[in-house]
Amino acid sequence: MLQEFKTFIMKGNVLDLAVGVIIGGAFGKIVNSAVNDLIMPLVGLVMGKVDFSNLFINLSGDNHQTVAAAKAAGVPTLNYGIFLNTTIDFLIMALVIFMIIKAANKVRKAEEPAPAPPGRECPFCKSTVHDEATRCPHCTSELR
């Protein structure tokens, strides 16, 4: 059983998946930082100095200035600003993954071998011969 597990782990697709998960996690942190630290502050500045991470609806009726203050007080809130940040994170990740897959498919398509030329089988040597050939180039037999 240990040998089977070792064989399973050493398969290329399992290792590729592990590397992909690790790189994806690191890339997710980069995108999260880009959204929270670069994109959303600029969007907030354009929209009148709005801090999206502190946009929330207080469900208790108490007055709290930030999400952190509301959470510290144990007040239920609808944090739509944080949801907006997370949605933008997702959209950026989806766009990047789409572009990576599109590029990989383009490379894969370029590597595919060209289809075999049209032909027929020589009845004598069984080689593929062009449809318009009158002699087989392999065995030189006359074709009908």
**Residue 117: predicted pLDDT:** 67
**Residue 101: predicted pLDDT:** 86
Tell me, yes or no, whether 62 and 14 share the same domain.
yes
Smallest CA-to-CA distance from 124 within 115, 111, 137 is with 137
Smallest CA-to-CA distance from 75 within 50, 58, 90 is with 58
Tell me, yes or no, whether 29 and 52 share the same domain.
yes
Query: What is 50-71 written as a DSSP string?
Result: --GGG--EESS----SSHHHHH
Q: What's the structural domain count of the chain?
A: 2
Q: Where are the alpha helices (DSSP H) in 58-133?
A: 67-72, 80-111
- 46 vs 52: CA distance, rounded Å: 12
Tell me, yes or no, whether 21 and 44 share the same domain.
yes
Tell me, yes or no, whether 97 and 121 share the same domain.
no
**Residue 139: predicted pLDDT:** 92
- What radius of gyration do the chain's Cα atoms show? 31
Q: What is the pTM of this model?
A: 0.57
Taking only the tens of pLDDT, the chain with its 144 residues reads: 888 887 777 776 777 888 888 988 898 888 888 888 888 888 888 888 877 888 888 888 888 888 888 889 989 999 998 898 888 888 888 888 888 889 888 888 877 777 766 788 899 999 889 888 889 998 998 887
- 57 vs 87: CA distance, rounded Å: 18
Tell me, yes or no, whether 32 and 46 share the same domain.
yes
* Domain interval for residue 45: 2-112
- 142 vs 134: CA distance, rounded Å: 6
Estimate the share of the chain in helix, then strand, then coil, as percent rounded to the nearest 5: 60, 10, 35
- 133 vs 118: CA distance, rounded Å: 11
**Residue 125: predicted pLDDT:** 92
